[in-house]
Structure 1
Amino acid sequence: MKKRCLVFLILFVLSLSAYTQSKYTLQNSEKDKISFKLINNLIVIPVEVNGVPLSFLLDTGVSKAIIFNFVNVSDELKINRTEEFFLRGLGEGDTVQALKSSDNIFKIGDAVNIEQDVFTIFDPSLNFTPQLGIPIHGIIGYDLLKDFVVEINYSKKQIVLHDPDFYQPKKCKKCETFNLDFSTKKPFINGSVAIRDNEKSVPVKLLIDSGGSDALWLFKDKEHNINVPTRYFDDFLGRGLSGSVYGKRSKISRFSIGSFTLESVNTAFPDSTSIAFAKKFKERNGSLGGEILKRFNVIFDYSNKKITLRKNSSFKEPFYYNKSGISLEHSGMRVVKELDKKQAKMPYGTTNNSAGGNIINLSKSYKYVLAPSLAIVELRKGSPAEKAGLRLDDIILSVNNKDVHLYSIQEVIQLFYGPDGKRVRMIIDRNGVQMKFSFQLESMF
């Protein structure tokens, strides 16, 4: 079964003052390989901060390192509180308070920076662990990427950091190299989109955003003929630094970069209030996210303002989307009853005449364990789940006759990306009362 893409968003658009330049260097070699996890099209890498092992998102859309799960690791990190800042990102909310700390030691694979600036956010609501299902402590982008030629092999889930002074590109007939433009230390690429069939393509300049799991975001612009297609639905697009982002989801006819063309591409059109800060860069028409990036193996060369793309085995996969209308998060813990698979054996000397004189006790034994609660945190109006009667804050206990704690959160969400007509059965807890629901997945296009 093909691995289906999921939708998630982490987009930060920061406006920061000048900072002390710092540099990553490879300690023992000219290159280093780092394995990563790909979760909801997002790259999760191991990062050691002041000697403490953490997990960060590698996000080309951010200029500075940020720790946003700080309250859970503050005692270990020993971060000096220095300057107070207010950060602004995507979303409908206000700025977020953060403290800037300098001269932190960051180690990523064999790459080390002993003067890393980091912005720590104390707001506990800005915690992206519940959406991804694994601990996520922070995010890093430009600070790391600027110092290396960086290969991202989505197929192997591996990053290679090359010392630019020793890097020799391999010959690659199927590769194409494109120019990058930079604004506020974020990379932009030129492409083209055709919104509808039989419609002429129009040029677009897009932020390359490995921290957004959608395929494309386009900013509505009548002057440049970037309009929402006739068939769309309103949806929750994700959560940014300044709050939730909403907009319209649809499909456009095609998207192209050079000779690479993708058809029937999932595209989101965020509401203008959520992207007001991002649109201050007037040339920007949207974002190119992880659902497209994962279809290539990518080489970033920031020092020469180049990006090289080569199609991988995911290139021709269809673009799926969540047909249920449900967005989920981990929400606290609950006690669950599990069958203990260890069966006790009775000793010799019983009256049973079974072979070997052993009696196997077949009575069921149970144990109680703690497992994350999985809650509905967004519910699309008019969606199959809403029409079936599901509500916000419902706690899911089982899906399709399988206890939900036996799934990862990604596996549960994958069930919502199935074919039209697929039935999803749930048992939920609503204020202490268990209830059963059933609905069928429906295409919105």
Structure 2
Amino acid sequence: MLTKYKLAMRSLFRKLIVCLCIFLPFITITQAQDFQFLDNQKRQSLSFKLIKNLIIIPIYVNGKGPYDFVLDTGVGPMIITEPSIIDSLNFTNMRKIKVSGLGLEPVEAFVSQNITAKINRAEMKHIPTAILKEDLFNLSGHLGTKIYGIIGYSFFSSFIVDIRYVEKRLIFSKLNQKVKYKGTKIPIVIENLKPYIYAEIEVPDSGKTKAKLLMDTGASHALSMEMFNGAMFPLPYSKIKASLGMSLSGQIKGYLGRIKSFSFGDFEFDDVISGFPDYNVISQKIDLKSRNGNLGADLLKKFNLQINYHEGFMYLKPNSFFKTPFEHDMIGMVIYLDQKEYKRYLIGEIDENSPADKSGLCPDDEIIGVNFRSMDAYTLSDLTELFKSGANKSVILEIYREKKTFFKVIHLERRI
């Protein structure tokens, strides 16, 4: 039995969190299963896309593809989230199960250990896989490109993995290959197929304390703090109510604020933006005893990472992102691409009293232009950066609503 919980992606404006809480009773992963190079190579390099801090890599599944997957240290079995892949592939020996989480009515999924995945020249046969019958997470819509799934433990446990965020390049080496490590060594602990690190965090009214965090390249936020001494993590004095993203049962509510001091290894950061999900809700469904929170890619991308699951450590070396300040979105709304028509930019949830709310924008409004440029000139990542580009700046949105077109001027505001 495997229970999986992750706050995985922050939305367009606050970096979508997708909470995957999946009950997969038939999937197990053994240490004997791993990726192998198809020839005598000892090391390979692979370019990746970096979208909203998430690493997107091409994967061939059962000889077909490539299909874009999120590379995510926070997951165990490979997960196929795009149901259309079922129609295009000849899956055999698959079983149906029910997937449930956080109160959602159960939905059907397929599980299989008769699938082959190939990443560049590395291949793994019989990779444990869950295939969702429905696209529950709309990863494609929120990232603006077709996403077919998520892969994690099987890849990271097979290699020494070097992630270079600035170069958008992976270098993965055989476990017995000599690797020149650079930077600061940080211990990691692998539990239930996931990596954890220890950090020191300043807690309001309690001073600095040691915290155990899931290291999660599949979460595009910097931090999510979930538990402290068996209860909700103390909230910072300055905070805003926020929807922290989607779970299988709907919106995850909580707060956004800043952690005054965060450090691990030789590195210390001030005023780190963090989510604080509603403990009373998630603790009823998720076992939070094993960790205090989640360390995501908005912080991890400040380093070149060399990750070695097999020996239980990673090396961190600061890169050119290191001094970039942590900023939250300054508009207060979700934007996503319609899954059926990928050039329709739609507004999702709007935060109460946010600049978007004050300007009179509404959910389901379609954005057809920004600053007098058509939407063809923008990606979702472009809009993310624009909407946190600076307080007191203004953006002009051209809106289509109920067969009418009009303009809205929104004044960006630093809310935390």
Per the TM superposition, whether the score is higher than 0.5 is yes
Q: 1:150 matched to which residue of 2?
A: 161
Written as runs of structure 1 = structure 2, the 5 A alignment for 1:343-422 is 372-422=343-393
Matches within 5 A, 1:113-128: 113-128=124-139
Please give the secondary structure, in 1, of the residue aligned with 2:387. helix
Q: Which amino acid aligns with 1:410?
A: S
> Equivalent residue for 2:215?
208
Higher alpha-carbon deviation: 36-45 or 430-439 = 430-439
The CA distance in 2 between the partners of 1:439 and 1:145, in whole Å, is 43
- Counterparts in 2 of 1:58-207, with a 5 A limit? 58-70=71-83, 72-80=84-92, 82-88=94-100, 93-166=104-177, 168-170=178-180, 172=182, 175-195=183-203, 200-207=207-214
Q: Which amino acid aligns with 2:172?
A: L
- AA aligned opposite 1:320: E
Offset of residue 378 of structure 1: 1.2
Q: Could you tell me how far apart the structure 1 residues matched to 2:59 and 2:254 are?
A: 33
Change (3 A) 1:15 1:257: farther
1:102 maps to amino acid: Q
Aligned partner of residue 386 in structure 2, secondary structure: helix
C-alpha root-mean-square deviation of aligned residues, in Å? Answer: 2.3
Query: How far does the alpha carbon of each residue in 1:405-438 deviate from its partner, in whole angstroms, 9 at most, with x for none?
Result: 3211221232211211111111111121112211
Q: Aligned partners of 2:288, 2:302: CA distance in 1, in Å?
A: 27
Three-state SS of the structure 1 residue aligned to 2:244 is strand
Distance 2:306 2:29 in 1: 27
Secondary structure of the residue aligned to 1:256 is strand
Closer, same or farther in 2 for the Cα pair 1:124/1:225, shift >3 Å? Answer: closer
- Corresponding residue of 1:338: none
Alpha-carbon distance in 1 for matches of 2:279, 2:181: 43
Higher deviation after alignment, 410-419 or 291-300? 410-419
Q: Provide closer, same or farther for how the CA distance between residues 20 and 192 of structure 1 changes in structure 2, counting only shifts above 3 A.
A: closer
Answer whether contact 2:190 2:309 (CA < 8 A) is retained.
Answer: no
In structure 1, the partner of 2:3 is: none
Q: Is the 8 A contact 2:398 2:406 kept in 1?
A: yes
| C-alpha distance in 2 between matches for 1:322 and 1:294 | 18
Q: Structure 1 residues 324 and 136, CA, compared in 2 at 3 Å: closer, same or farther? A: same
Q: Structure 2 regions of 5+ residues with no counterpart?
A: 1-11
State the shift of 1:83 in Å: 2.0
**Shift of residue 264 of structure 1?**
1.0
Q: Deviations over 1:56-85 (max 9, x none)?
A: 001111111011112x22222112252223
Range with bigger deviation, 54-63 or 397-406: 397-406
CA gap 1:333/1:114 in 2 versus in 1, 3 angstroms? closer
Name 1:34's counterpart in structure 2: 46
| Structure 2 CA distance for aligned equivalents of residues 268 and 87 of structure 1 | 26
Is 1:5–1:40's contact at 8 Å kept on the other side of the alignment? no
Tell me if the contact between 1:329 and 1:377 (Cα under 8 Å) persists in the aligned partners.
yes
Deviation at 1:251, TM superposition (A): 0.8
Q: How many angstroms does 1:375 deviate by?
A: 0.5
Cα distance between partner residues in 1 of 2:36 and 2:294 = 30
Aligned-partner Cα distance in 2 for 1:73–1:225: 39
CA distance in 1, matches of 2:110, 2:87: 16
Match of 2:274 in 1: 267
The DSSP-based 3-state class of the residue aligned with 1:303 is coil
How do 1:293-304 residues align onto structure 2 when only pairs under 5 Å count? 293-304=300-311
Tell me if the contact between 2:13 and 2:384 (Cα under 8 Å) persists in the aligned partners.
no
Tell me the secondary structure at the aligned position of residue 130 of structure 1: helix
Gaps of 5+ in 1: 335-370
Residue identity in the other structure for 2:168: K
Alpha-carbon spacing, 1:279–1:75, altered in 2? closer, same or farther (3 Å): closer
- Whether contact under 8 Å (1:333, 1:372) holds in the other structure is no
Of residues 47-56 and 305-314 in structure 1, the stretch that sits farther from structure 2 once superposed is: 305-314
Distance 1:92 1:218, change over 3 A: farther
C-alpha separation in 2, matches of 1:81 and 1:409: 38
Q: How many residues align?
A: 400
Select between 373-382 and 176-185 the one with higher mean Cα deviation. Answer: 176-185
| Contact preservation (8 Å) 1:96, 1:242 | no
Q: How does 1:312-327 map to 2 (within 5 A)?
A: 312-327=319-334
CA shift in 2, pair 1:283/1:104, >3 Å = closer
- CA shift, 1:320, in A, is 1.2
Tell me which amino acid in the other structure corresponds to 1:187. Answer: P
**Alignment correspondent of 2:264:** 257
Task: State the Cα distance separating 1:47 from its structure 2 match.
Answer: 0.4
